[in-house]
Amino acid sequence: MNYISTRGLAPSLGFEDVLLAGLARDGGLYVPETWPRLEKQAIASLAGRPFAEVAVEVIQPFAGGAFSREELLAMARDAYATFGHPAATPLVQLNSNLWVLELFHGPTLAFKDVAMQLLARLMDHVLKRRGRRATIVGATSGDTGGAAIEAFRGSKAVDVVILYPAGRVSDVQRRMMTTPRERNVHAIAIDGTFDDCQALVKGMFNDHAFRDRMQLAGVNSINWARIVAQVTYYFVAAVALGAPHRPVSFVVPTGNFGDIFAGYVARQMGLPIERLVIASNVNDILPRTVATGVYEKRGVTATTSPSMDIEVSSNFERYLFEAQGRDSALIRGQMAALAQSGRFEVKGGPELLARDFSAASASEEDVAEIIRRTRQVSGYMTEPHTACGLVAAERCLKPGSTPQVVLSTAHPAKFPDTIERILGERPQLPPRLASLMTDEERTTLLPNDLRAVESFIEQHAGAAAEQLG
């Protein structure tokens, strides 16, 4: 299978090259030329199978001949053996028709592990086969950075450089990036917001001389392999609840639009998803877009759900490309308008968006209230991102026979101060992470300046050392 850029000016690539490239050279994001589909019988056959086996069935059509079935299964089994639950992503029932899909049983207690653990193995496999190394650069609003560092720490083929907004991630999130001691990992605190960090990463990829010199690769959700790996748990959850014989609705706490776009991909593949609900905090640019058809930046407010404190949802471009008839010229115009004026209009307006999504935002008061109520009614402890999902489920989904699944994207112990303030009890880290809060940290503070960041990477990444050597 080949992949094309949403902006239409970059060459099409195969899966391996898309895996290593991340962002297309024209600034766009890669999507498959066609959408593979699974027949009802094939979907039904996934019920009860181990997570790694389902991952192979979902990913193989997108990978084409990049990996044999045996290679992909071995990598998937190795990736998900790192998880603290045998089901990898278990369902927990909260009431008669509402489930939480726990995506936080990986090494860094966040949903990013589901894709990142596999992505690291795919990338190492390809780099070894090609006799290459790479420098991974990524931006994080909290969880991606820790997941990337954990997945690639100690790799002999990859250096990892993660940018995070200084003072805008939780202590646990920060320490998962700053306590690893391996020489191939680097955590950089940027004096700015997540959107600033993301812009710096895009700037590095668009600096083609630097990109080639440093052999850049991306692991943010701009990397297509991240998206397709996340598609797996939609199938796992849906078949456990009766798919393909009945539809399922999913509610997704949404920042960069990657996780919910994976749900959109699952639907394109034939999974019967009745509704996809975008759950946001007070940074409600996506719910506003769904309501008005206008994507408009208004600034970012810091909240107790920092992974959603985002205004530029990169993967929304992938959806717009598909929903607006794969019109690359239109996408280029919309992204240029966003850069110049901070807004653009969606062709087809709110009617187009409502066809695929519902959306709701949660205030800080909403988040605290539903965390307390969920603990009181069901005994279940949840964290602020998942709480936004629970709020959106109440507001957007009607009671009925269709199972409703809220994606739980992080473990409560990643936000202990917030949970203790709301519930009066402090969530504990799993025993395997007992030393996290006392281990020595290692980080670098840099200004929001592309040249300063590029200079640091050139000085510290292994690819630079090879160039100089």
What residues are labeled active site? 112
Residue with tokens 């639950």: 85
The strands making up 134-139's β-sheet, listed across from edge to edge, are 216-218, 134-139, 158-165, 185-190, 444-446
Distances (CA, A) of 222 to 144, 261, 350: 12, 11, 25
CA distance 269 to 39: 9
Q: Interhelix angle for 364-378 vs 416-423, to 10°? A: 70
How far apart (Å, rounded) are the C-alpha atoms in residues 412 and 439?
20
Among candidates 17, 51, 9, which has minimal Cα distance to 224? 17
Structure token digits, residue 422: 């709301």
CA 48 to CA 55: how far, in whole Å? 13
Beta strands in 142-272 (DSSP E): 158-165, 185-190, 216-218, 248-253
Tell which phi-psi region holds residue 290, choosing left (phi > 0), alpha (psi between -120 and 50) or beta.
alpha
**The two three-digit tokens of residue 216, written as one number:** 């850049």
- Residue 231's Cβ-side half-sphere holds a number of Cα atoms within 13 Å equal to 30
> Hunting for tokens 């720490």 — which residue is that?
153
